[in-house]
């Protein structure tokens, strides 16, 4: 519990301390967001808002873990470092994507194929190292029913790769309006703080630092946002969420705690499929679904509150279901 509290408080303080400086630096470098032409028209006012602000919570999370690194190594605990490693690799992919968009002055960075190959490689490496170090077994814990199903390691590796890459891109889709991805993921991080505490794992330091860092970043990212996290931040967060789930040896818990990520992704898939099947008709007014609600007249603040409350309810239900076993 002390590790979780230390991580949360220190990351929150660091995010607040460096936030303004990072925003000024991004503004000076002219790292401004390019708004999609097919997005909501009123988003045009956000053009050139500093992006890549995910650097704020990435630094806020990394510093407490690095401070505690000697103690963790002496105790033989490497999970927070491995979790940070996966998150940083995904954040680096996002950074390259963001930087490419800015340099080419367009809203498309590296190709989808390039991004996918890098994500797959990072996922395989993370799962293999976790397995080699004894943190993972080729079995799946099924939440709520308390059943563990053993599966062949190659199949587990394939499943894990699919989950990590899929979740990472789902979190990226959720980053579409001010404070949405930040708020939803902060609640998910809070859930994992409780989960790590319940299983008595010192890896809770990572979840605590993520929670604190996101709360600090939200001060600058809430509507009207002074800075966007960019793909640098959203892909980092996707990696962090997946890393926490696998560090708990419970990747299937993402089905409930990550319900908003899943809904956002499904809405995009449904929109594209329906558009193709009907030769131009749309199922939603706009996808992902947070834009649909914007088109229905919901304010950004209302969408953030509702989606965050849905996530909180799903996380509470998940925790109760696990703790009751």
pLDDT tens digit string along 206-244? 999 999 999 999 999 999 999 999 999 999 999 999 999
The arithmetic mean of pLDDT across residues 181-190, rounded, is 98
Is 118 part of a structural domain of the chain? yes
Quickly tell me which residue has 């308390």 as its tokens. Answer: 146
pLDDT higher than 90, residue 3: no
Residues ≥6 apart with Cβ < 8 Å to 283:
270, 271, 274, 275
pLDDT (0 to 100) of residue 45: 61
User: pTM for the complete prediction?
Assistant: 0.93
Is 265 part of a structural domain of the chain? no
pLDDT higher than 70, residue 186: yes
For 178, what's the count of Cα atoms within 13 Å in the CB-facing half-sphere? Answer: 19
The arithmetic mean of pLDDT across residues 30-43, rounded, is 64
Distance of CA 211 to the CA centre of its chain: 11
Is 305 part of a structural domain of the chain? no
Positive or negative, the CA dihedral 108, 111, 116, 122 is negative
Positive or negative, the CA dihedral 64, 69, 72, 74 is negative
Is 73 part of a structural domain of the chain? yes
Is 167 part of a structural domain of the chain? yes
With 0-12 / 13-18 / 19 or more C-beta atoms within 10 angstroms meaning exposed / middle / buried, residue 47 is: exposed
Per the structure, the complete domain to which residue 216 belongs is given by 2-251
pLDDT tens digit string along 50-93? 999 999 999 999 999 999 989 888 888 899 999 999 999 999 99
Total domains in the chain come to: 1
Is 258 part of a structural domain of the chain? no
């Amino acid at each position: 519990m002390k590790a979780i509290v230390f991580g949360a408080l220190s990351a929150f303080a660091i995010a607040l301390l460096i936030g303004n400086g990072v925003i000024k630096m991004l503004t000076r470098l002219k790292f401004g967001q390019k708004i999609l032409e097919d997005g909501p028209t009123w988003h045009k006012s956000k053009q050139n808002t500093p992006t890549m602000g995910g650097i704020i919570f990435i630094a806020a999370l990394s510093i407490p873990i690095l401070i505690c690194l000697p103690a963790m190594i002496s105790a033989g605990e490497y999970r927070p470092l491995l979790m940070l490693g996966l998150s940083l690799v995904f954040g680096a992919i996002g950074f390259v994507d963001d930087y490419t968009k800015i340099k080419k002055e367009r809203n498309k960075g590296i190709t989808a194929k390039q991004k996918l190959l890098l994500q797959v490689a990072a996922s395989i490496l993370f799962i293999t190292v976790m397995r080699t170090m004894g943190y993972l077994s080729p079995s799946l814990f099924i939440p709520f029913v308390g059943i563990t199903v053993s599966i062949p390691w190659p199949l587990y590796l394939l499943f894990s790769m699919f989950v990590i890459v899929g979740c990472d891109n789902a979190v990226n889709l959720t980053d579409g309006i001010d404070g949405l991805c930040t708020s939803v993921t902060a609640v998910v991080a809070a859930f994992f703080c409780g989960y790590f505490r319940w299983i008595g794992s010192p890896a809770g330091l990572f979840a605590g630092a993520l929670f604190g860092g996101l709360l600090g970043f939200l001060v600058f990212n809430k509507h009207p946002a002074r800075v966007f996290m960019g793909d640098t931040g959203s892909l980092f967060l996707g990696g962090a969420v997946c890393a926490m789930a696998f560090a708990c040896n419970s990747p299937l818990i993402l089905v409930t705690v990550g319900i908003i990520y899943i809904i956002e992704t499904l809405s995009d898939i449904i929109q594209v499929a329906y558009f193709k099947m009907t030769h131009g008709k749309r199922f939603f007014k706009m996808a992902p679904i947070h834009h649909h609600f914007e088109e229905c007249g919901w304010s950004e603040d209302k969408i953030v509150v509702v989606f965050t409350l849905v996530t909180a309810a799903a996380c509470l239900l998940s925790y109760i279901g696990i703790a009751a076993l």
